[in-house]
Structure 1
Amino acid sequence: MAIVLVAEDDSDIRDLIVFKLEQAGHTVLPAENGQVALRVAAGRTPDVALLDVMMPGMSGLDVCRALRERPETARIPIIMLTARAQESDVQTGLQAGADDYIVKPFSPRDLTQRVETVLARAGT
C-alpha cells in the first residue's frame, strides 16, 4: 500500500485519519503542523499528502507549495483538508498545487476513497 503524510493540527482528527488509513493498509506519517510535515517528507518521501489548510505557523497551502518546489516531492498527489468551503478557497488550494480538496466535516470512508483515487491517478 502507500505511504501517506497527514498534517493536521487537531489531534482528534489526525488520530481518526491515521486510524482509518492504517485500517485500509497504508503506512501513515503523522505531523502536527506544517514544519513537522516538511521534515517528515524530507526524511521519507510519501506517496500522497493530506494537508490541513489552517495550521498554526505554516499553513497547509504553504506546505503544499514547498512540497511542489522540492524535486523529490514535486509529483506526489496532495489533498487539502479544510473547513473552508467557499469556491474561492477551493480555487486557492488548487492553485497552490493541490490535486483534491476535502471539506470538513468529512466521511472517513470518503476520505479513504479519495486517497485511493488520487493514488490510482498517480499510478502509485
Structure 2
Amino acid sequence: MKILCVEDDINLGQLLKITLAKDSYQVELAENGQIGYELAKKLAYDLIILDLLLPKINGIELCKLLRSEKSVDIHHNRYTPIILMTALDSVTNKVVGLDAGADDISTAVSR
C-alpha cells in the first residue's frame, strides 16, 4: 500500500513513516501542501494523510484540490481515501474537513 503523508512537522512525519513502514506500507513524505500537490499529480496513492495546518497550501485546500473535478492532472487520486490530521479538536474543523472531501478526521489530544 502506497501512502502520501503531508506533514510539516519533520519529526512527526518521520515517526509516521517509520511506524507505517513496520507494517510494510510505502510512505512518501511531503513537508508542505504544495509539495504534496505536486506528488499527487505525478503518482497514484492508496491513502493520503494530510495535516490540517500546512504551509503553502493548507490541508483543507489541498483536500478540495484533490477532490475537484476540475483537477484533470490529479484524476488518479480523486477518489483516494483522505485522512486529515489535526491537533485542533473542534467540531467546526471536523465539519469543514469532511465538507472538503476528507474521508475521516484524526485529532491528537496532548496530555
2-side partners of 1:105 and 1:63: how far apart? Answer: 23
Structure-to-structure mapping, 1:95-106, within 5 angstroms: 95-105=99-109
CA deviations on 1:47-106 (whole Å, 9 max, x unpaired) are 110000001121011111111124221100000000111111101100000001111248
Corresponding residue SS for 1:85: coil
Matches within 5 A, 1:1-124: 2-69=1-68, 70=71, 71-105=75-109
TM-score (norm 1): 0.81
What are the ranges of 5 or more consecutive residues in structure 1 without an aligned counterpart? 107-124
Q: 1:105 to 1:31 in 2, by over 3 A?
A: farther
Aligned mates of 1:89, 1:17 — CA distance in 2: 22
How many residue pairs end up in the alignment? Answer: 105
Which segments of 5 or more consecutive residues in structure 2 lack a partner in the other structure?
none
Runs of 4+ aligned residues of structure 1 deviating over 3 Å after TM superposition are none
Greater fraction of residues in helix: 1
Please, what is the CA RMSD of the aligned residues? 1.2
